Amino acid sequence: VIRFMALLFTLLGTWFLLQTYFDQTWKTISLRSWLGESLPRHKCGNKRSCAQNHFAFKIISGAANVVGPSICFDGVTLMSSVKNNVGRGLNIALVNGTSGQLLKENTFDMYSGDISKLDTFLRAIKDGTIVLVASYDDAATKMNDKVQALFVELGSSHVKNLGFRDNWVFLGAKGLKNKSPFEEHIKNDKKTNKYEGWPELLEMEGCIPRKMD
């Protein structure tokens, strides 16, 4: 009888605790829904928000030669497959470092395109401009020393190491005095590739300070 009573009290206590917990949880969820509250969403879908006078960004490289890259800046998607403005090679967006406004975006075929077009594009970038780059398929076949030097001036540390079908994401700026902390590069290696002839995609997000005049 004593064992039965102890078991009964244990079951009743457990039932009471569970009912109280779920009842309170349901009330909390219902109250948030009624008030129209939702979990906080950060710009570009980033994991955290940026401090005042900083811009949020997210750059995602292409996946093999199937899924195109995307570039988001200050909560606005600048380049993506959905916008139909990305292509094989290097996808580059130029942004005003003070206002955050998009200045120009373009794609450059690094497998069979004309490298002089990329050279001209990079040389025309003005001081204070933020440069966001995402690779897709192949970013290096047409690369030469002159173009590499221009990316180095923008703060790149990895551009000289790019190889056939490597993945690369980069954020730099014209007039940057030091190397950019925002750059990732992964080699095309048959032993480690996620896809048959390509490495896995790269995703980089962060906050960059607004250029103050």
Adjacent-strand bridge partners of 79: 71
pLDDT at 212 over 90: no
Tens of pLDDT, residues 32-61: 444 455 555 789 999 999 999 999 999 999
- The full set of domain ranges for the chain reads 1-33, 43-209
Q: How confident is the model at residue 1 (pLDDT cuts 50, 70, 90)?
A: low
CA distance 177 to 195: 37
Q: Is 168 in contact with 200 (CB distance < 8 Å)? A: no
Residue among 151, 127, 129 at smallest CA distance from 139: 151
pLDDT at 211 over 90: no
pLDDT at 13 over 70: no
DSSP state of 179: -
Q: What percent of the chain has a predicted confidence (pLDDT) above 90?
A: 70
